[in-house]
Amino acid sequence: MAMEDSSFGRLLGALVSPVKTFRSIAERPTWGAALLVLLVASGAVAYVVGMRTDYRDVITQTLKEKGRDVPEAQLEPQINMMQKAGPIISACTVPVFIVLVVLLGALVYWVVFKLLGSDFSFKTSFATTLHAGMPGVIAALLTLPVILSRASLGYADVKSGTFLQSNLAFLAPADAKAWVTALYASVDFFSLWSVVLSIIGYKAVSRLSTQQVAAVVVLVTLLFIGVRVGLAALR
């Protein structure tokens, strides 16, 4: 059996042999293995981040940034609770959030390509989006040793939301607004890799021209970046 024909082989195939792999996915879409790997990788990173987070610094600096002055005695119970439950909460909520984003992305692509005349199932769109996101798993695996090498993660670390210098977030000023940091972080090597894989993948399943598929993928990517930056601005 060729690598791109098995569920787990496709995880590697999407990275090293994307054209053949996405053609195989177009013929027989599978998503279980890719979803499992994404959940485990994102959950592991979220848990380790939660274990290394200095919740006292994060909570204190967050309140200070909002202009609120809360007595230390009132903060202590919240800090203790987060030190105990924070890692578990992060490990449960972050993977769910990521899966919801993938589902939403797959839905948007499915609807747009349907409007352009393509005829493939939502299952195929979900499988394509998941496999195009495999660079994110590589990023997660590289992030783990970086986090584990740190004694603790303070407010500035958590605020940036990125620990690998694979994006431009490290160039953002220390006092930059959250939306500015989010905008810098959007220019990311692994995200750009996923964009390229999405173009290859949706070209295989939609059978539209490369130019049409690239235009859709870039526009959808910019839409999600806009939402991410907007949410950061609201925070």
Q: From residue 189, give the alpha-carbon distance in Å to each of 8, 11, 75, 95, 132.
A: 24, 19, 39, 21, 14
In this predicted model, which residue has the larger pLDDT, 156 or 200? 200
pLDDT tier, 121 (very low <50, low <70, confident <90, very high otherwise): very high
CA distance 66 to 61: 9
Closest CA to 61 of 157, 152, 196, 190: 157
Half-sphere exposure for 41 (CA within 13 Å, toward CB)? 19
pLDDT tier, 5 (very low <50, low <70, confident <90, very high otherwise): confident
Query: At a CB cut-off of 8 Å and minimum separation 6, what does 68 contact?
Result: none
CA distance 143 to 45: 7
pTM over the 0.75 mark: yes
CA distance 219 to 221: 5
Which residues, in sequence order, are bridge partners of residue 53? 153
DSSP 28: S
Q: Residue 1 above 70 pLDDT?
A: no
Three-state DSSP class for residue 16: helix
In this prediction, residue 62 carries a pLDDT of 78
